[in-house]
Amino acid sequence: MNKNTASRMAELTINGKTHLMPILEGTEGCKAIDISNLLRDTGCITLDSGFKNTGSCASSITYLDGDKGIFRYRGYDIEDLAENCVFIEVAYLLLHGKLPNAEELDNFKMLLEGFALVHEDMIHFFDHFPSNASPMSILSVMVNTLCNFYIEMGDDPLTNIDITAARLISKIRTIAAFSYKKSLGQPLVYPRQDLCYCGNFLNMMFHKPVRNYEVRPELVSTLNKLLILHADHEQNCSTSTVRLVGSAGVNLYASISAAISALWGPLHGGANEAVIDMLEGIYADDSNFEKYIRKAKDRSDPFKLSGFGHRVYKTFDPRGKIIKKACDDILLSLNVSDPLLDIARELEEIVLKDDYFIERHLYPNVDFYSGIIYRAIGIPANMFTVMFAMGRLPGWISQWKEMREDPGTKIGRPRQLYIGEPRREFVPLAERP
């Protein structure tokens, strides 16, 4: 960030008095007006519902430009990372600010392998969740509980952050797979040392004592891409939650647990599950595409096409381009027969040719394709958001780490505009009408 702002100031005039505020500039030319002293100098605050125009921090992790469809981790284009890296390479990049060399990657792999198991006492916790418990609620609880079993963070949480990060990234896939197995009443499948990160997860999910699971390379490659695309996405709801909760000084596990709860929302991480729900609704209505396209165009109708458009991107989501190709490749490779996947393809084709959606930049986004891929792989819809959390974890940890390392970090404390009753005289109980 360019801190030399003496010659670049914004002017704000209130009641005839002009106040000067520095204009800061990021490395990619994005600008921000520093209003840190606004309340002190003017007696006013800003009101920005949803924080659409408010920067909560300065960060060096992720850059995106929604107008131009640019998305980068630590300066690397997402297209290059998705094409040439595996997920744990990108996790290392986010955590350390650089891509690992061969030795660093091997050491990181060894850490992940060493931390893959969940403490045996924690496994008993799964027995006490109802069989219909949401995998996201289980994930949030189990991640929060890790702080009771692994206390290496101690008084200085940054001292062993590499160990804690590796522990979380490794164990989250085991916890996720175990919660799925428990929901089915199937025996747990433990991680294997001979399998890679994504291969291990697939095996823990789908292996059965009566039927071996073949870890297919194309599935591993596709899962790597999905997790890479989800690894971070600037200051979204769950990432902001990590920073806000973490600013109170709580441990990393609690901050990540809070982020998982935020991601659980249907307006955030639940979007890919909503895509499948939408496709099922269209299928149940005899695949009446015209009806649903008409409903999506009707402003008075609350129906929205799930998986199309994005709050940030005003052009094609760059992740969508990558995941569309991955989706086409994996469906061809698996040769699956699923009416919902057929509906998804036809709906995509209709929307991409319709001027209404083209003019409004309502292109298929990453959530549209990820739900289709997960379904093709065999992952149930109630696990979709868990998959999102697995991918987003390195970004959450990196954001928490950056926040804790910043000497300017203060506990998050947004202001409000009070619109309630003015002062009222207290009336004793016996005198109230």
Residues belonging to the active site: 310, 367
Which residues sit opposite 9 in a β-bridge? 22
The answer to whether 361 and 200 are in contact (CB under 8 A) is no
Distance CA 357, CA 374 (A): 25
Phi-psi region of 153 (alpha: psi -120 to 50; beta: other; left: phi over 0): alpha
Other CB atoms closer than 10 Å to residue 42's CB: what's the count? Answer: 15
- Whether the CA torsion 143, 145, 148, 149 is positive or negative: it is negative
For residue 91, give every residue at least 6 positions away whose Cβ sits within 8 Å of its Cβ, in sequence order, or none: 108, 169, 231, 393, 394
**Nearest to residue 405, comparing CAs of 73, 159, 238?**
159
Per-residue DSSP letters for 204-240?
A: HHH-BTTB-----HHHHHHHHHHHHHHS--SS-HHHH
H or E element, residue 65: strand 62-65
Q: Three-state SS for 292?
A: helix
Q: Within 10 Å of residue 212's Cβ, how many Cβ atoms? A: 10
Residues 171/270/319/60 CA torsion (nearest 10 deg):
-60
3-state secondary structure of 67: coil
Distance CA 204, CA 92 (A): 23
